[in-house]
Amino acid sequence: MKIAIDGPGGAGKSTVAKRLADELGMTYIDTGAMYRAVALAVHRRGLSTGDADAVRGLLGFIRLGIAHEAATGRQLIYLNGEDVSDAIRTPQISLGASDVSKIPEVRLAMVELQRGIASGADVVMDGRDIGTFVFPDASRKYFLTASPETRARRRFLELTAKGQSVTFEQCLSELLVRDENDSNRAFAPLKAADDALLVETDDMTEDEVVAALRADLLNLGLCGAGP
Ligand code: DC
């Protein structure tokens, strides 16, 4: 079974996808982490994420791996053998990931990796193009969204809780730049699949979103009522 959860940054996809996967005994795959790791590799080489030729040239030297922490189910991401799960969570890398994700060669390499990891497994995968491009035949597709202000507030709270020094305005402007980039790129842009269930999460708690998705899956006969 494949469950696709797409939507813009800060819509709550990753927390919801992870919790849903845990509850259903499925594997959670965060595809944004892969684009972030590519951006980190580009930065570390002193290159610009906006320089498509340079990024394409580096792609062959980037080896990504993912694993799941046994105790928590949290996804870890490795860049050439190094665990970079925390290093990729900065505003600079968010913007860089959005830049590199415009490059078709980068996307095709990431999509191949994503399909490989998911093959033969039951997965809840979150991203921007899962329902439209990676798994157009997914068992169920969701598109989570919220206003830019709600998403920026969530992102601000998340980053400050981790001790990062950012302002609400920085979070908002970064999300708006990424929305624009991600929605308007030519290849596999951020877009709700025609058959996705749209979930507006502004006035919903995380628990309510998870419960709504579970109720929908139960209704479709795709999961049981149990814990
Ligand atoms: O989900 P995230 O915020 O970690 O994603 C970071 C960037 O990666 C996002 O702005 C666009 C890109 N991305 C993508 O293009 N396709 C995906 N499936 C996941 C992320």
Beta-bridge mates of residue 68: 75
36 lines ligand 1 (CB under 6 A): yes
Alpha carbon distance 55, 61 (integer Å) = 10
Mutate to test the pocket of ligand 1, among 128, 174, 180 (most ligand atoms within 8 A of CB): 128
pLDDT tens digits, residue range 48-101?
999 999 999 999 999 999 999 988 889 999 999 999 999 999 989 999 999 999
Tell me what pLDDT residue 73 has.
Answer: 84
Is residue 88 assigned to a domain?
A: yes
Is residue 221 assigned to a domain?
A: no
* Helix (H/G/I), strand (E/B), else coil: 190: coil
Is residue 78 assigned to a domain?
A: yes
Ligand 1 centre distance from Cα of residue 59 (Å): 17
Is residue 176 assigned to a domain?
A: yes
101 lines ligand 1 (CB under 6 A): yes
Alpha carbon distance 118, 155 (integer Å) = 28
**What's the domain count of the chain?**
1
Ligand 1 centre distance from Cα of residue 19 (Å): 19
178 lines ligand 1 (CB under 6 A): yes
Tell me what pLDDT residue 203 has.
Answer: 96
Query: What is the average per-residue pLDDT within 13-27?
Result: 95
- Return the residue whose CA atom lies nearest to atom 20 of ligand 1: 32
Q: What does pTM read for this prediction?
A: 0.96
Is residue 102 assigned to a domain?
A: yes
Is residue 218 assigned to a domain?
A: no
Is residue 182 assigned to a domain?
A: yes
Tell me what pLDDT residue 224 has.
Answer: 85
pLDDT tens digits, residue range 144-153?
999 999 999 9
With a CB cutoff of 8 Å and minimum separation 6, the contacts of 180 are none
Tell me what pLDDT residue 71 has.
Answer: 86
Q: Which helix (H) or strand (E) holds 197?
A: strand 197-200
Mutual orientation of helices 104-118 and 52-59 as an angle, nearest 10°?
Answer: 40
Distance of CA 218 to the CA centre of its chain: 24
Residue 14 CA: nearest ligand 1 atom is: 1
Would strands 197-200 and 123-127 be described as parallel, antiparallel, or unpaired?
Answer: unpaired
128 lines ligand 1 (CB under 6 A): yes
Mutate to test the pocket of ligand 1, among 13, 18, 34, 35 (most ligand atoms within 8 A of CB): 35
Range of the domain at 93: 2-202
Tell me what pLDDT residue 149 has.
Answer: 98
Is residue 209 assigned to a domain?
A: no
Contact 102, 187 (CB under 8 A): yes
pLDDT tens digits, residue range 115-128?
999 999 999 999 99
What's the number of CA atoms in the CB half-sphere (13 Å) around residue 222?
21
Tell me what pLDDT residue 58 has.
Answer: 98
Alpha carbon distance 42, 20 (integer Å) = 32
Strand 75-79: give its sheet, edge to edge: 64-68, 75-79, 82-83
- Nearest to residue 126, comparing CAs of 219, 31, 59, 8? 31
Alpha carbon distance 49, 40 (integer Å) = 9
Q: Is the pLDDT of residue 184 over 80?
A: yes
pLDDT band at 112 (very low <50, low <70, confident <90, very high): very high
- Nearest to residue 101, comparing CAs of 91, 92, 112, 109? 109
49 lines ligand 1 (CB under 6 A): no
The CATH number of the domain holding residue 12 is 3.40.50.300
